[in-house]
């Protein structure tokens, strides 16, 4: 209070302690004298509640004590003190309540971050502005436990075994992947449970595949043509467009043009995904298996041999194992991330691509590059060159006669076929055969390239050349005969 307002003999509230979160404590004092310079001498009528011991800024007083105090510590006339204290209390309580609400809100948001909820509507956005390394690691560890719960793994898994699956994707995306039904029941539309089915299955396949490193039966490893479809191609196109809008370009590993006899669906996937790595199971047999196939023992999918998908597209269908349908996707975890990005993009009406979504595609590309690094496979292989060279100007219907002309032996019946040709037809077949064998030879590196065939090379020379090249390339190029001669209708 102001010194001028103080009256000697009247009683006032003198503040003995002011705490941060409660009304100040006050003693009841009577003014003995007003001393000037902001001071007054008072006698303590009632010391009031004692301030906490050693509290900072506390000014404890004793009953009947006479002390000089600062007049600014005299709060108000004593009969007003009760009301004033009550109103300070009310203000403080209101402020505390507001703060508590704010914290509760934050806590609720934090807690919700890891709640696996199948009915959750697909969020508008998954990108987060800030990701703190420590929190992020904690949340991923917590998701490991959620994974065990969501898939009912019980004692069959420990959270650390799940760590390799719960990487790269934003935590909230992983949380929503776990909300899918483990029995493949698709949730109600527009929920996360409906959106993330493909990625959830891939993660689960990756988990199962990782469990059994040495034996067989390490799970169904999906074939890319069953897994991927129109939306995936459209998404890759959209990424290309996005990047082009800002003046850049994303280069994919080159995939050669493929001949017409390759399955049409697969051929349509080749420009966008032909470079994907497929894992091949170990076998000494003729057939190609996936590392998860029950009919072969195999190494873990990431330790098995692998090849680009376009190369498998050229194989005879009979070469693919009927049980496992042949080699499957190698990099299951990055692939799970990619299909999650596509499915979210599609569910949102294909309208925009978040940062994490583009990242999944680039990650798939870099995983494929890392896999190739292991086997020192260059961007363009000899097989690539040969396929590209032979796909150009393939002979179509004319190929059969040319094939018969070079492949005739004592043991097949091609000689008979050739006998039915008129001399001009036979000459045409010879020309086609010579051209094709020349094209093939020109695709070879100079160290392996035979001498050029003369224009007039006769059938015997062509047959020798054909036999030589076929032997040279038997382990390099699948279906060399079809690449050379098309052979429409052949199976």
Which residues are near Zn ion by CB under 5 A? 289, 293, 295, 321, 323-324
Q: Which is nearer to Zn ion, 294 or 468 (CB)?
A: 294
Contacts 24+ apart (CB under 8 A), 432-435: 432/395, 432/398, 432/399, 432/401, 432/402, 432/485, 433/402, 433/403, 433/405, 433/406, 433/459, 433/462, 433/466, 434/462
- Alpha-carbon torsion 34, 38, 41, 46, what sign? positive
Nearest approach, Cβ of 323 to Zn ion (angstroms)? 4
Other beta carbons within 10 angstroms of residue 249's beta carbon come to 7
CB of 139 to Zn ion, least distance (A): 39
Quote the least distance from Cβ 283 to Zn ion, whole Å. Answer: 8
Q: Closer to Zn ion at the Cβ: 288 or 342?
A: 288
State the nearest-atom distance from the C-beta of 121 to Zn ion, in Å. Answer: 41
Q: If you write DSSP's letter for every residue of 363-401 in order, what string do you get?
A: HHHHHHHHHHHHTT--SS-HHHHHHHHHHTT--GGGHHH
Three-class DSSP category at 329 = strand
Q: How far is the CB of 210 from Zn ion (least distance, A)?
A: 19
- For residues 73 and 220, which CB has a smaller minimum distance to Zn ion in the complex? 220
- The two three-digit tokens of residue 38, written as one number: 């902001």
d(C-alpha 91, C-alpha 70), whole Å = 26
Name residue, tokens 């349509």: 268
**Closer CB to Zn ion, 324 or 443, in the complex:** 324
Q: Give the 3-state secondary structure of residue 26.
A: strand
> Based on CB atoms, which residue is closest to Zn ion, 118 or 222?
222
Retrieve residue 245's tokens.
């809008």
Q: How far is CA 291 from CA 264, 319, 392, 436, in A?
A: 26, 15, 34, 36
To the nearest whole angstrom, how small is the minimum distance from the Cβ of residue 397 to Zn ion? 35
**Measured from the CB atom, is 71 or 205 closer to Zn ion?**
205
Q: Measured from the CB of residue 325, what is the shortest distance to Zn ion in angstroms?
A: 8
What secondary structure does DSSP assign to 338-363, as a single string? HHHHHHHHHHTTS----HHHHHHHHH
Residue 249 or 286: which CB sits closer to Zn ion? Answer: 286
Structure-token pair, residue 161? 């075994």
10 φ/ψ angles, rounded to the nearest 5 degrees: -85, 160
Q: Cβ 301 to Zn ion, closest distance in Å?
A: 13
CB of 259 or CB of 327, closer to Zn ion: 327
């Amino acid at each position: 209070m102001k010194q001028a307002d103080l009256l000697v003999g009247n009683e006032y509230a003198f503040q003995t302690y002011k705490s941060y979160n409660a009304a100040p404590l006050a003693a009841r004092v009577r003014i003995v004298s007003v001393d000037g310079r902001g001071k007054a001498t008072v006698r303590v009528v009632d010391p009031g509640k004692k301030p906490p011991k050693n509290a900072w800024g506390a000014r404890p007083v004793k009953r009947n004590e006479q002390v000089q105090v600062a007049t600014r510590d005299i709060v108000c006339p004593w009969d007003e003190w009760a009301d004033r204290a009550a109103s300070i209390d009310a203000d403080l309580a209101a402020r505390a309540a507001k703060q508590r609400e704010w914290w509760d809100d934050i806590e609720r948001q934090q807690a919700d971050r890891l709640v696996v909820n199948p009915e959750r509507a697909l969020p508008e956005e998954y990108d987060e502005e800030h990701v703190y390394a420590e929190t992020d690691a904690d949340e991923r560890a917590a998701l490991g436990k959620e994974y065990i719960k969501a898939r009912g793994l019980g004692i069959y898994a420990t959270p650390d075994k799940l760590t390799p699956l719960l990487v790269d994707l934003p935590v909230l995306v992983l949380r929503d992947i776990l909300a899918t039904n483990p029995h493949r029941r698709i949730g109600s539309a527009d929920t996360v449970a409906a959106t993330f089915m493909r990625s959830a299955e891939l993660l689960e396949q990756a988990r199962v595949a990782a469990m059994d490193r040495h034996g067989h039966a390490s799970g169904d490893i999906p074939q890319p043509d069953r897994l991927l479809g129109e939306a995936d191609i459209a998404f890759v196109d959209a990424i290309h467009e996005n990047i082009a809008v800002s003046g850049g370009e994303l280069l994919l590993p080159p995939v050669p043009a493929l001949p017409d006899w390759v399955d049409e669906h697969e051929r349509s996937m080749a420009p966008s995904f032909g470079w994907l790595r497929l894992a091949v199971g170990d076998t000494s047999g003729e057939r190609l298996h996936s590392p998860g196939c029950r009919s072969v023992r195999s190494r873990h999918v990431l330790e098995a041999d692998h090849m680009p998908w376009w190369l498998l597209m050229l194989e005879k269908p009979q070469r693919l194992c009927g049980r496992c349908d042949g080699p499957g996707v190698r990099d299951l975890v990055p692939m799970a991330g990619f299909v999650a990005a596509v499915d979210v993009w599609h569910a949102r009406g294909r309208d925009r691509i978040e940062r994490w979504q583009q990242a999944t595609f680039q990650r798939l590309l870099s995983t494929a590059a890392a896999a190739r690094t292991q086997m020192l496979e260059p961007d363009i292989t000899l097989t690539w060159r040969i396929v590209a060279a032979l796909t150009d100007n393939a002979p179509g219907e004319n190929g059969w006669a040319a094939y018969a002309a070079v492949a005739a032996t004592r043991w097949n019946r091609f000689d008979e076929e050739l006998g039915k040709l008129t001399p001009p037809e036979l000459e045409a077949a010879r020309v086609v055969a010579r051209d094709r064998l020349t094209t093939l030879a020109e695709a070879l590196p100079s160290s392996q390239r035979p001498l050029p065939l003369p224009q007039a090379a006769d059938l015997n020379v062509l047959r020798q050349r054909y036999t030589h090249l076929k032997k040279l390339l038997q382990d390099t190029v699948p279906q060399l005969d079809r690449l050379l001669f098309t052979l429409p209708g052949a199976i």
